[in-house]
Amino acid sequence: MHPIHELEAIELSGDGDLWQLSLYSDRLQLRSHGGTVLDVIRREVLPLRLLVVDSLLAPRTIVVSFSDGDRRSFQLEREEFDQFRGWLGPPTRADLIIALNRRLRFMLPIGLMLMLLSLPIAGDPPKADFIGMGMGAVLVVLGLLNRYKPSRWLFLIDAAWFCGLSLRILFDITRGASEWWFVFIILGLWLTSSGITHFRVYRSATG
Protein backbone atom coordinates (compact mmCIF):
# COMPACT_ATOMS: atom_id res chain seq x y z
CA MET A 1 0.00 0.00 0.00
CA HIS A 2 1.36 3.38 -0.99
CA PRO A 3 1.13 6.33 1.41
CA ILE A 4 -1.37 9.11 0.74
CA HIS A 5 1.32 11.72 1.43
CA GLU A 6 5.09 11.66 1.98
CA LEU A 7 6.12 14.67 4.06
CA GLU A 8 9.47 15.96 5.29
CA ALA A 9 9.81 17.44 8.76
CA ILE A 10 12.68 19.01 10.68
CA GLU A 11 13.27 17.60 14.15
CA LEU A 12 13.22 20.47 16.65
CA SER A 13 14.01 18.44 19.76
CA GLY A 14 17.26 16.99 18.40
CA ASP A 15 19.99 18.02 15.97
CA GLY A 16 17.68 19.43 13.31
CA ASP A 17 17.67 16.21 11.29
CA LEU A 18 15.24 15.72 8.43
CA TRP A 19 12.59 13.05 9.02
CA GLN A 20 10.07 11.51 6.65
CA LEU A 21 6.42 11.20 7.64
CA SER A 22 4.43 8.68 5.60
CA LEU A 23 0.68 9.17 5.87
CA TYR A 24 -1.42 6.08 5.18
CA SER A 25 -5.18 5.76 5.50
CA ASP A 26 -4.84 3.85 8.78
CA ARG A 27 -1.47 4.88 10.23
CA LEU A 28 1.39 7.36 10.51
CA GLN A 29 4.89 6.05 9.83
CA LEU A 30 7.99 7.97 10.94
CA ARG A 31 11.41 7.40 9.41
CA SER A 32 14.66 8.97 10.54
CA HIS A 33 17.04 10.79 8.21
CA GLY A 34 18.83 7.45 7.69
CA GLY A 35 15.67 5.82 6.38
CA THR A 36 15.05 3.61 9.41
CA VAL A 37 11.42 3.22 10.43
CA LEU A 38 11.39 4.28 14.09
CA ASP A 39 7.68 4.16 14.81
CA VAL A 40 4.27 3.37 13.37
CA ILE A 41 1.22 4.93 15.01
CA ARG A 42 -2.24 3.58 14.27
CA ARG A 43 -4.86 6.21 13.45
CA GLU A 44 -7.11 5.22 16.36
CA VAL A 45 -4.43 6.09 18.94
CA LEU A 46 -3.17 9.28 17.26
CA PRO A 47 -5.10 11.62 19.62
CA LEU A 48 -3.24 10.07 22.56
CA ARG A 49 0.22 10.26 21.03
CA LEU A 50 0.15 13.34 18.82
CA LEU A 51 -0.09 17.04 19.60
CA VAL A 52 -0.52 19.51 16.72
CA VAL A 53 0.47 23.13 17.40
CA ASP A 54 0.37 26.15 15.11
CA SER A 55 1.01 29.25 17.19
CA LEU A 56 3.29 32.28 17.14
CA LEU A 57 5.92 30.58 19.33
CA ALA A 58 5.54 27.11 17.81
CA PRO A 59 4.39 27.40 14.20
CA ARG A 60 3.51 24.30 12.13
CA THR A 61 4.69 21.93 14.85
CA ILE A 62 3.74 18.37 15.74
CA VAL A 63 4.82 16.67 18.96
CA VAL A 64 4.97 12.87 18.82
CA SER A 65 5.09 10.45 21.76
CA PHE A 66 7.03 7.44 20.51
CA SER A 67 6.37 3.85 21.57
CA ASP A 68 9.57 3.82 23.66
CA GLY A 69 8.33 6.80 25.72
CA ASP A 70 10.48 9.37 23.91
CA ARG A 71 8.91 12.68 22.82
CA ARG A 72 10.07 14.50 19.71
CA SER A 73 8.95 17.74 18.11
CA PHE A 74 8.90 18.31 14.35
CA GLN A 75 8.26 21.34 12.18
CA LEU A 76 6.78 21.23 8.68
CA GLU A 77 6.53 23.73 5.87
CA ARG A 78 3.13 25.41 5.58
CA GLU A 79 1.92 23.39 2.58
CA GLU A 80 2.94 20.07 4.13
CA PHE A 81 1.50 21.08 7.50
CA ASP A 82 -1.85 21.79 5.82
CA GLN A 83 -1.66 18.39 4.11
CA PHE A 84 -1.00 16.75 7.47
CA ARG A 85 -3.97 18.47 9.10
CA GLY A 86 -6.14 17.55 6.14
CA TRP A 87 -5.10 13.91 6.55
CA LEU A 88 -5.97 14.04 10.24
CA GLY A 89 -9.43 15.34 9.43
CA PRO A 90 -11.63 17.53 11.64
CA PRO A 91 -11.34 16.98 15.42
CA THR A 92 -13.88 14.63 16.97
CA ARG A 93 -15.58 14.72 20.35
CA ALA A 94 -12.98 12.20 21.60
CA ASP A 95 -10.15 14.49 20.39
CA LEU A 96 -11.75 17.41 22.24
CA ILE A 97 -11.91 15.50 25.53
CA ILE A 98 -8.27 14.41 25.23
CA ALA A 99 -7.16 17.99 24.49
CA LEU A 100 -9.18 19.34 27.44
CA ASN A 101 -7.67 16.78 29.80
CA ARG A 102 -4.17 17.69 28.63
CA ARG A 103 -4.74 21.35 29.38
CA LEU A 104 -7.10 21.35 32.37
CA ARG A 105 -6.40 18.16 34.33
CA PHE A 106 -4.53 19.98 37.12
CA MET A 107 -6.83 23.01 37.36
CA LEU A 108 -8.92 21.65 40.26
CA PRO A 109 -6.02 21.05 42.71
CA ILE A 110 -4.23 24.24 41.61
CA GLY A 111 -7.42 26.24 42.14
CA LEU A 112 -7.95 24.79 45.62
CA MET A 113 -4.34 25.57 46.54
CA LEU A 114 -4.67 29.14 45.25
CA MET A 115 -7.82 29.66 47.30
CA LEU A 116 -6.12 28.36 50.45
CA LEU A 117 -3.08 30.59 49.88
CA SER A 118 -5.42 33.58 49.49
CA LEU A 119 -6.88 33.13 52.98
CA PRO A 120 -5.49 35.22 55.88
CA ILE A 121 -2.97 33.34 58.01
CA ALA A 122 -3.93 32.84 61.66
CA GLY A 123 -2.07 35.27 63.92
CA ASP A 124 -1.09 37.43 60.96
CA PRO A 125 -3.13 40.55 60.17
CA PRO A 126 -3.04 40.73 56.34
CA LYS A 127 -6.42 40.75 54.68
CA ALA A 128 -7.61 37.90 52.52
CA ASP A 129 -6.66 38.15 48.84
CA PHE A 130 -10.13 38.19 47.31
CA ILE A 131 -8.80 38.47 43.77
CA GLY A 132 -6.61 35.42 44.27
CA MET A 133 -9.51 33.60 45.89
CA GLY A 134 -11.74 34.41 42.93
CA MET A 135 -9.13 33.27 40.42
CA GLY A 136 -8.71 30.05 42.36
CA ALA A 137 -12.48 29.52 42.34
CA VAL A 138 -12.53 29.92 38.54
CA LEU A 139 -9.92 27.16 38.24
CA VAL A 140 -11.95 24.90 40.53
CA VAL A 141 -15.04 25.45 38.36
CA LEU A 142 -12.98 24.79 35.22
CA GLY A 143 -11.68 21.54 36.68
CA LEU A 144 -15.19 20.39 37.63
CA LEU A 145 -16.69 21.34 34.26
CA ASN A 146 -13.88 19.49 32.49
CA ARG A 147 -14.79 16.35 34.42
CA TYR A 148 -18.55 16.49 34.16
CA LYS A 149 -19.43 18.74 31.19
CA PRO A 150 -16.49 19.04 28.78
CA SER A 151 -16.89 21.71 26.12
CA ARG A 152 -14.61 23.66 23.81
CA TRP A 153 -15.82 26.83 25.56
CA LEU A 154 -13.62 25.83 28.49
CA PHE A 155 -10.60 26.71 26.34
CA LEU A 156 -11.94 30.25 26.03
CA ILE A 157 -12.53 30.56 29.79
CA ASP A 158 -9.03 29.23 30.39
CA ALA A 159 -7.61 31.80 27.95
CA ALA A 160 -9.48 34.61 29.73
CA TRP A 161 -8.10 33.39 33.07
CA PHE A 162 -4.50 33.57 31.86
CA CYS A 163 -5.14 36.99 30.33
CA GLY A 164 -6.44 38.17 33.71
CA LEU A 165 -3.42 36.67 35.44
CA SER A 166 -1.08 38.56 33.09
CA LEU A 167 -2.91 41.83 33.80
CA ARG A 168 -2.69 41.27 37.53
CA ILE A 169 1.06 40.60 37.34
CA LEU A 170 1.48 43.77 35.27
CA PHE A 171 -0.44 45.70 37.94
CA ASP A 172 1.84 44.27 40.65
CA ILE A 173 4.92 45.31 38.66
CA THR A 174 3.62 48.88 38.45
CA ARG A 175 3.34 48.81 42.24
CA GLY A 176 6.97 47.81 42.74
CA ALA A 177 7.17 44.05 42.10
CA SER A 178 10.29 42.71 40.39
CA GLU A 179 10.49 43.17 36.63
CA TRP A 180 11.44 39.49 36.39
CA TRP A 181 7.69 38.84 36.64
CA PHE A 182 7.48 39.96 33.00
CA VAL A 183 8.55 36.39 32.15
CA PHE A 184 5.25 35.16 33.59
CA ILE A 185 3.35 37.83 31.66
CA ILE A 186 4.83 36.49 28.42
CA LEU A 187 3.96 32.94 29.46
CA GLY A 188 0.43 34.00 30.40
CA LEU A 189 -0.12 35.75 27.07
CA TRP A 190 1.18 32.72 25.20
CA LEU A 191 -1.26 30.48 27.10
CA THR A 192 -4.02 32.98 26.33
CA SER A 193 -3.24 32.76 22.62
CA SER A 194 -3.00 28.97 22.84
CA GLY A 195 -6.41 28.72 24.52
CA ILE A 196 -8.04 30.83 21.80
CA THR A 197 -6.35 28.68 19.13
CA HIS A 198 -7.68 25.50 20.76
CA PHE A 199 -11.17 27.02 20.90
CA ARG A 200 -11.04 27.64 17.15
CA VAL A 201 -9.46 24.29 16.24
CA TYR A 202 -12.12 22.26 18.05
CA ARG A 203 -15.11 24.14 16.66
CA SER A 204 -16.06 21.04 14.64
CA ALA A 205 -16.21 18.90 17.80
CA THR A 206 -19.61 18.99 19.44
CA GLY A 207 -19.92 20.06 23.07
pLDDT in tens, 128-166: 788 999 999 999 999 999 999 999 999 999 999 999 999
Residues 6+ apart with CB under 8 A from 53: 61, 62, 63, 194
DSSP annotation of 128 reads: P
Architecture category of domain 5-89 in CATH: Roll (2.30)
Query: What integer pLDDT is reported at residue 24 of this predicted model?
Result: 94
The pLDDT of residue 203 is 86
Whole-structure pTM value? 0.80
Burial of 138 (0-12, 13-18, 19+ CB in 10 A): middle
| Band of pLDDT at residue 104, cut at 50, 70 and 90 | very high
Cα pseudo-dihedral 62, 67, 71, 72, rounded to 10: -50
Beta pairing partners, 8: 20
Compute CA 164 distance to the chain's CA centroid, rounded to the nearest angstrom. 18
Q: How far is Cα 195 from Cα 200, in angstroms, rounded to an integer?
A: 9
Q: How long a stretch of residues is the chain?
A: 207
Q: What is the pLDDT of residues 6-31, one digit of tens each?
A: 999 999 877 778 999 999 999 999 99
Q: How far apart are CA 102 and CA 80, in angstroms?
A: 26
Q: Is the confidence at residue 126, as pLDDT, over 80?
A: no
- The residue ranges of every structural domain in the chain are 5-89, 94-204
| Interhelix angle 153-174/182-201, nearest 10 degrees | 160
C-alpha closest to that of 70 among 25, 2, 13, 22: 13
For residues 162-174, average pLDDT? 94
| Alpha-carbon torsion, ordered 69, 71, 76, 79, to 10 deg | 50
Q: Stretch 109-125: mean pLDDT, rounded?
A: 82
